Structure 1
Amino acid sequence: MRTDRIFARLDREPEPPKIEIPGMSRTRTALFGSTLAFYMAIVWAVLITSWLVALDWKIMLFRPYEQWPQLHAFLDYFVVLGQRGPTAVMVAAWLGWRSWRQHTLRPLLTLGASLLLLNVTVGAVKLGLGRRGPHYATEIGSAEMFAGGDIFPSGHTANAVVTWGILAYLATTPRARRWLSVLSAVVALGVGATTVYLGTHWVSDVLLGWAAGLLILLSLPWFEPLIGRTEAWVFAVRESWRTRRRLGAARPAPAGGRLSPALFPQRQPTARNAAQADSPAREPVTAGSGRAAGGATRTAVHLTQRPHTARSERPPVTPAGSRRPPHADRTGAARPGTSPRPVTGG
């Protein structure tokens, strides 16, 4: 479907009600500060190899996937709800439909901003701390930090919090926000617990992943002005593009490959051209009754036009005499009153 048809369909849709944009309230600021403190406490507890690291090892050696093997097949599929690719596609499809109905790009732009923040913050901490996972641990009781790993915090858990929590953040009614908050919390908790069951993450990885995702959701109101400016810029570009297309369609095309004279401005008459236009027209010069520009009288010569005949229709003409011009030094008949030249050297 062409983009102009899509825009035309959007223009025919009824205007949606005004969408309330969340602000950074005192409650949200307090939650952000407490979550940040919890985040830093988890990192510090792992760095000093505290009781939290001992708990990680106890659950890892317990091997939940061996204790309840009947859950393994289901949880292998359930953990996909925390993978970035499939969840981003599903949520983007839903938010794209909302953008279509509500005549706004804010849902899609908010999703893009949250995923960008997730990749930057979580990825930087993963690479900076370099913790190894349970399957690659080498020393029992060790925190396995700065060993070239990339599992702290849990990316599946943080992605589940952000991707499904963005639905509750963008909800337009209090009831929808409550239900979507409960649903996203259940999915995020389930994905984190599943990674511990499968043995791909420590418990501390999951705790830090929950905190990382919640920090991103709580900080989104700070990015709302930037999202609004981006949306206004996109719509301005769209309007200018549509205006250029409309002007291009209204311009008449040249017929027969010739340029229309209306496309070129007419020359304004100069003083010299105006003087020439006001002067009387020159009379044509006839035979014997006019003077040429140099002052000499010219006589018109009229040639009688003869019909042109083809070469095949012309009668043959026999040439009379020789076509060569006579030469005085050649031997021939002597002219009267002269004597023939004597031949010498014979």
Structure 2
Amino acid sequence: MNRIFHPVTLVALLAIFLLAGFTGGQHNAFDRAIVDLLGEVRQEHPKFVSFTVIVTQLGSVYATLGLGFAAALLLAWKRKFRVAALLALTVAGERLALDGLKLAIGRPRPWFDENLVVTHSTSFPSGHSANTMAVFVAVALIAVPARHRSAAFISAIAASLVIGATRPFLGVHWPTDVIGGWSFGLLIALLAVVVGRRSAILADEAEHQIVGRHRPPVRQHEAS
């Protein structure tokens, strides 16, 4: 699992984010084709649309900030104050950075006669994708005990992928908005863990024992 923190991984995530930002949007043939196709699917499957509207709410600001700060409060209650501060700063910092990027880039959203969900900001990067990826992964890697961390990480990735996929399906984001959001959110979460380890806020010995299938050595008692 430690391989996900390799510099190559971080650089690759940044490259994906930049590529999605510079090439996507209303002038991108791939984005337009996918959005048009999903529009037809929505018309053919209205019941699935209703279900998707419910799923997408799991990536709302209330859900993501609520989960992130609840996990931070739980860590503080356990007297892990530095770890709690790291998680809270990661959640809040990612949100502020995302809002700044949206304003700076200003990519228009896809436009439809019927607004299936309410939107208030520009299109790139997708907030639902970025926020769920950053918060879910940060909670999994920072707040979850080491013995459950791998499973929590996989679950966090899967949940963010599902929630992010609802955005272009509902016609409120271009596919590259979502790809850029996922890469940005994961980059922020991984960087937070790297900073936590470098500053000794997070210790990875327990994780190494579990992921590497090692166990603490049995203490040998001298014969009396």
Same fold (TM over 0.5): yes
Query: Quick one: which of 186, 189, 200 aligns to 2:161?
Result: 189
Secondary structure of the residue that 2:69 maps to in structure 1?
A: helix
Aligned partner of 1:125: which letter?
Answer: L
| Contact persistence 1:109–1:227 (CA under 8 A) | no
* Native 8 Å contact 2:21 2:124 kept in 1: no
Q: What residue in structure 1 maps to residue 91 of structure 2?
A: 115
Report the Cα offset of residue 47 of structure 1. Answer: 7.7
Q: Decide whether aligned partners of structure 1 residues 58 and 182 sit closer, same or farther in structure 2, where only a CA change above 3 A counts.
A: same
Q: 1: CA distance between counterparts of 2:31 and 2:14?
A: 22
Q: 1:98 to 1:129 in 2, by over 3 A?
A: closer
Q: Which stretch of structure 1 is more off in the superposition, 79-88 or 125-134?
A: 79-88
For 1:127, give the aligned amino acid: L
> Aligned partners of 1:189, 1:163: CA distance in 2, in Å?
13
The offset of 1:136, in angstroms, is 6.5
Aligned match for 1:69, one of 46, 49, 53? 46
For 1:54, the aligned partner's letter is: A
Tell me, in whole angstroms, the C-alpha distance in 1 between the residues paired with 2:26 and 2:34: 19
User: Following TM superposition, by how much is the alpha carbon of 1:199 offset from its aligned partner in structure 2, in angstroms?
Assistant: 0.7
Superposed displacement of residue 115, structure 1 = 2.1
Between the aligned partners of 1:227 and 1:89, the Cα distance in structure 2 is 26
Q: Which AA in structure 2 matches 1:205?
A: D
Q: Could you tell me which residue of structure 2 aligns to residue 341 of structure 1?
A: none
Max radius of gyration: which structure? 1
| C-alpha spacing 1:223/1:43, structure 2 compared with 1 (3 Å) | same
> Are 2:138 and 2:189, in contact at CA under 8 Å, matched by a contact in 1?
yes
Query: Does the residue aligned with 1:134 lie in a helix, a strand or coil?
Result: coil
Shift of 1:223: 3.8
CA contact (8 A) 2:123 2:177 kept: yes
Q: Give the number of equivalent residue pairs.
A: 190
After superposition, give the CA deviation of every residue in 1:146-197 in whole Å (9 maximum; x if it has no partner): xxx6110101110010111112211331x41111111111111011111111
Displacement of 1:215 in angstroms is 1.1
1:26 CA drift (Å): 8.9
Determine the structure 2 residue equivalent to 1:96.
73
TM-score by length of 1: 0.50
- For the residues of structure 2 that align with 1:83 and 1:107, how far apart are their CA atoms? 24
The residue that corresponds to 1:203 in the other structure is 175
Decide whether aligned partners of structure 1 residues 67 and 107 sit closer, same or farther in structure 2, where only a CA change above 3 A counts.
farther
- Cα distance in 1 for partners of 2:156, 2:64 equals 12
Cα separation, partners in 2 of 1:37 and 1:169, compared to 1, 3 Å:
same
Alignment of 1:1-346 (within 5 A): 27-46=5-24, 49=27, 53-62=28-37, 63=39, 64-101=41-78, 103-135=79-111, 150-170=122-142, 171-173=144-146, 175-224=147-196
Paired position in structure 1 for 2:208: none
Structure 1: which 5+ runs fail to align? 1-21, 138-148, 229-346
C-alpha displacement of 1:29: 1.7
Q: Which residue of 2 aligns with 1:297?
A: none
2: CA distance between counterparts of 1:186 and 1:92?
21
- Which segments of 5 or more consecutive residues in structure 2 lack a partner in the other structure? 114-120, 202-224
Q: Does structure 1 conserve the Cα–Cα contact (< 8 Å) formed by 2:102 and 2:122?
A: yes
Identity over aligned pairs, percent = 24
For 1:79 and 1:26, the matched residues in 2 are separated by: 27
* Higher helix proportion (structure 1 or 2): 2
Q: CA deviation at 1:126?
A: 1.0
Q: Deviations over 1:218-242 (max 9, x none)?
A: 21145437795xxxxxxxxxxxxxx
Instruction: State the alpha-carbon separation in 2 of the partners of residues 163 and 210 from structure 1.
Output: 11
